[in-house]
């Protein structure tokens, strides 16, 4: 598992769409598995779950991205899973890191 968290400013829905489109269009094997959107008062929250095949790890990797805004900043938390090998220890996490690198590139 690998994690990346940051804060950005901008239009909430534009940021969500930019990440969503960038992930899906950034890899031939990437797909949006599911999504969820909430609004309570002025607070906005969106969750996106992506999956793609990692050629370096020869396995599938998932990426969950949570977007939250309750002020001028948008908080983004991206967490990967499933991209490592090994029964007792995590080895070869290249696929997970590559997924997170795509988020960093888009921001």
Helices and strands counted in the chain (H then E): 2, 5
Architecture of domain 3-106: 2-Layer Sandwich (3.30)
Domain ranges of the chain: 3-106
- C-alpha–C-alpha distance, residues 15 and 10, integer Å: 7
Q: In this predicted structure, what is the pLDDT of residue 84?
A: 55
Q: Tokens for 39, please give them.
A: 């609004």
- C-alpha–C-alpha distance, residues 44 and 39, integer Å: 5
- C-alpha–C-alpha distance, residues 35 and 79, integer Å: 15
- The alpha-helical segments, DSSP class H, found in 1-107 are 12-25, 94-106
pLDDT tens figures, 8-46: 999 999 999 999 999 999 888 889 999 999 999 999 999
- C-alpha–C-alpha distance, residues 96 and 1, integer Å: 7
pLDDT tens figures, 68-93: 999 899 999 999 887 555 554 555 55
- C-alpha–C-alpha distance, residues 100 and 25, integer Å: 15
- Confidence (pTM): 0.84
């Amino acid at each position: 598992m690998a994690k990346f968290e940051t804060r950005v400013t901008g239009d909430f829905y534009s940021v969500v769409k930019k990440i969503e489109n960038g992930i899906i269009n950034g890899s031939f094997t990437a797909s949006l598995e599911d999504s969820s959107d909430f609004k309570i008062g002025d607070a906005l929250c969106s969750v996106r779950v992506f999956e793609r095949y990692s050629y370096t790890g020869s396995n599938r990797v998932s990426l969950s991205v949570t977007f939250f805004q309750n002020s001028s900043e948008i908080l983004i938390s991206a967490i990967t899973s499933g991209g490592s090998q090994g029964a007792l220890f995590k080895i070869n996490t290249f696929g997970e890191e590559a997924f997170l690198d795509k988020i960093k590139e888009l921001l």
